[in-house]
Structure 1
Amino acid sequence: MIDAKVDRIQVPENLRYFRLIEEQKERCAEVGCQAEFYKFGLGQSPFPVPSPLQKALSLHSGMGTYADPIGNDEVRKAVASFFKARFDLDVVPGRVITGHGAKGLIFSVFTLLTGSVIIPSPGWLGYLPQLRILNVPYYRLYTYGAGNFKIRPQALEAMLKGLVKTQHLLILNNPGNPTGGLYTKEELTVIADICRKYYTFVLSDEVYSLLTYDPSSFVSMGKIYPEGTFVIHSLSAGMGAGGFRLGSCIMPEGTSQEIIRDIAKIAATIYTSSAAPLQEAGIAAYTSGKEMDQYLEAVRNILRIITSRLTEMCKTIRGIRVTTPKAGFYFMADLNPLMNELQNAGIMHSNDLAPALISHPYHIATVTGEAMMAPYGDYFIRFSCTDFDGESALLEYLENPPAPEEEEEFFNRYAGKMIEGMKMFQKWVEDIKEGKFQMPNL
């Protein structure tokens, strides 16, 4: 009755995460435990939707007509202008398409293109199920701690040499999920040169670009390889509007109108269009100037203060390795140095990590294993630093930005639950090393 490919689709990370918490809460209720849960798994902005978006949505909430499948002219112009101002991309509005969130646009690109897809691992899970639904061939390109979990040019070229000499698509997640890492201009240039050599397009997922702690350090792959890059962006991460489901894609330079019509046909078939009122909110998001500048500056600095300090706390735990985030609200812990101790504790593979961490009395909710495309035998954990009162933190920052010497106090005031959670993670690691933890029967 059910198509076999459905069984090959992993449960999305957010559903898996909530299910993990609920199942453990049920087990805790059976023994009368009401202890705190430490939530490091949800990859969602904690900040309120910016005021210009809220006002625009309210003002145009009566729009009930179908919208253009790839966005009305005004929202496409707004996106083009925004990318020019923010990322120095010379984009004509005709190359811009908007749609039902970044995920919907990625699905449209996967549907449009022929050839195989190369996915770096570990990475964001969302690409893989889409490829499996579409029966698109894909290859995992493994990345390693020695290279900061970035794509290694030698490995990329070796893979492309071994593939059939046809068109391919490389997925580039920059800034990175789950590491928070950032590619330099020089690193992107080398990757682009290899892609040109082997007739390979790039899908550059840049949804966290507005959250780069030092905005001047971010370089879009659309700047380096304009003729071969699909640049993906959305309102979700940087603008706190995940529920709005409005994304944008900059098509490669030189894309014909026939291809634009093709992707419009795909979009219209899959989701008709993004909602008309949300397109108006998108125009406000991309044209609000100073007010949006202030919002974005506050958001990225709050995330820098909190995420960087939680990362440093994690780095003090002996026996593990930790990435250094340059953007967003993620970092990744590598527990492979403790592989023997983990296996002695009954944690036999990467998918066991999340159930082990959530177990009583630790209650640490994270994303691990296949939920972050980690190889079966690699013990990686993604920490999301979003469990705090984003609205209060934003209001305080906008009214009175903390001086550098005041940032530690700001961190302690807003990240209290996560600070306690990181201390509990340290206890869990110590219990693993001392042989005090055994994987429970779940």
Structure 2
Amino acid sequence: MPHPATRLKSFSESVIRGMTRLANQYGSINLAQGFPDFNPPQELLAALHRAADGMNHQYAVTWGAPRFRQALAKKITRFSGLPVDPDKHLVVTCGSTEAMMVAMMTACNPGDKVIVFSPFYENYAADAILSGAEPIFVPLSPPEFKYDSEALRKAFEQKPKAIIICNPSNPSGKVFTREELMEIATLAEKHDTFVITDEVYEHIVYAPHKHVSFATLPGMFERTITCNSLSKTYSITGWRLGYVMASAEVIAQARKVHDFLTVGAAAPLQEAAVVGLEFPDSYYEGLLKEYSLKRDLFLDYIAKTGLPYTEPQGAYYVLVDISSLGFARDTEAAEWMTREIGVTGVPGSSFFREPVNHLIRFHFAKQEETLRAAGERLLKLTKRR
């Protein structure tokens, strides 16, 4: 019998989704996979009903329904100031997961190198391998998860074709400063490197931190491939609506990749999501206020357990240090918590290139009552310490 491709041996199935299955098995509160346990705004649900009753059930334009792209371009311009052309600068994808794959396959040839900051969202390493690229890992040092400028410079000297930046970052919650992004921009220009950004948490950034979209930096639009989605901003992770934004020259190639990966995103969902893209600024202000309250509530419980943690600057994840619980590996700790405590997180080792086995990632995109229930269960950890 023939053997499957050897490149598949170098990574596993998603640890995050695996922890969700374990949570379901034990009836545990799932703070592993980052999706809400509450519905999206009522206006979106009403729009979904209208779209379902309308004539939106056949293929949309491959790279995105015109009405959706027009609304998306206006929303991006409103928040970034970039003059985005809906017909030249956008490809609508099946979530940001496809967007990242499209970006990687558009930017990289087999054998190219790609800089990845560690810790990283687990898909990035797999995306590089599936694209035939070789990751160069640059560590981010806690608690603020800053990179070492000399290490980054040496990584760029290896002539990478691209660098991946998750900003705000999953899993660390880091928000890159403008100064850090400008340093990366200078190196990217010097070494003629693409910058692939994942900005899905752009509207979940806690004061005093500010999100800076890399494409808005001077001279960077032409070399930036921005990946984003509607999943987190509008609490519609199951709708799988993402996009790639780049220069017209890059998008012309990205459309080819997207076309033969998935053909197109769901037409009725694109129609319904237009309503969300047209929400007023007050929606985004309310979103941030809501997540700020959730963060404070959940971190207060973590603090009461006595376990050290890193306060997230953005996104809705927190890395918790479980060294004092006495487990040899974080995978063992995460599975024990699921069975015995009834709260499920993600072993931190799945996000690091380095041998890190003392962290668990929890997310707090849940209703207040869910976070309180999870927090009360986590307080049982004080008895084990």
Q: TM-score, normalised by structure 2?
A: 0.88
Note closer, same or farther for the CA distance 1:227–1:153 as it changes in structure 2 (3 Å cut). farther
Match in the other structure for 2:378: 422
Match in the other structure for 1:324: 311
Contact conserved, 1:131 with 1:138, CA < 8 A, in 2?
A: yes
Please point out which of 169, 180, 183 is paired with 1:187. 180
Please point out which of 247, 265, 286 is paired with 2:256. 265
- The runs of 5 or more residues in structure 1 that have no matched partner are 26-35, 389-410, 431-442
Q: Secondary structure at the match of 1:42?
A: coil
Aligned-residue CA RMSD in angstroms?
2.5
Q: Secondary structure at the match of 1:92?
A: coil
| Aligned counterparts, 1:14-93, within 5 A | 14-22=16-24, 25=26, 37-61=28-52, 62-93=55-86
Match in the other structure for 1:310: 298
Instruction: Say whether 1:176 aligns with 2:169.
Output: yes
- The runs of 5 or more residues in structure 2 that have no matched partner are none
Task: Return the offset for 1:45.
Answer: 2.7
Contact conserved, 1:39 with 1:365, CA < 8 A, in 2?
A: yes
Contact conserved, 1:181 with 1:326, CA < 8 A, in 2?
A: yes
* Deviation per residue, 1:139-176 (Å, 9 max, x gap): 22221115x12333332112122x1x3x5211111111
Q: Secondary structure at the match of 1:60?
A: helix
Task: Return the offset for 1:371.
Answer: 3.1
Note closer, same or farther for the CA distance 1:421–1:197 as it changes in structure 2 (3 Å cut). farther
Instruction: Say whether 1:159 aligns with 2:155.
Output: yes
Match in the other structure for 1:230: 225
Instruction: Say whether 1:131 aligns with 2:128.
Output: yes
Q: Secondary structure at the match of 1:211?
A: coil
Find the aligned partners of 1:136 and 1:379 in 2 and give their Cα distance.
29
Note closer, same or farther for the CA distance 1:228–1:423 as it changes in structure 2 (3 Å cut). same
Task: Return the offset for 1:313.
Answer: 3.7
Note closer, same or farther for the CA distance 1:294–1:75 as it changes in structure 2 (3 Å cut). same
Note closer, same or farther for the CA distance 1:278–1:151 as it changes in structure 2 (3 Å cut). farther
Find the aligned partners of 1:56 and 1:214 in 2 and give their Cα distance.
32
Q: TM-score, normalised by structure 1?
A: 0.77
Note closer, same or farther for the CA distance 1:92–1:379 as it changes in structure 2 (3 Å cut). same
Contact conserved, 1:366 with 1:381, CA < 8 A, in 2?
A: yes
Match in the other structure for 1:404: none
The number of aligned residues is 375
Contact conserved, 2:56 with 2:271, CA < 8 A, in 1?
A: no
Give the share of equivalent positions with the same residue, in percent.
23
Note closer, same or farther for the CA distance 1:152–1:47 as it changes in structure 2 (3 Å cut). farther
Instruction: Say whether 1:355 aligns with 2:338.
Output: no
Find the aligned partners of 1:276 and 1:364 in 2 and give their Cα distance.
36
Contact conserved, 1:304 with 1:327, CA < 8 A, in 2?
A: no
Q: Secondary structure at the match of 2:257?
A: helix
Find the aligned partners of 1:213 and 1:56 in 2 and give their Cα distance.
30
Which letter maps to 1:207?
A: V
* Deviation per residue, 1:50-71 (Å, 9 max, x gap): 2333333322334232222211
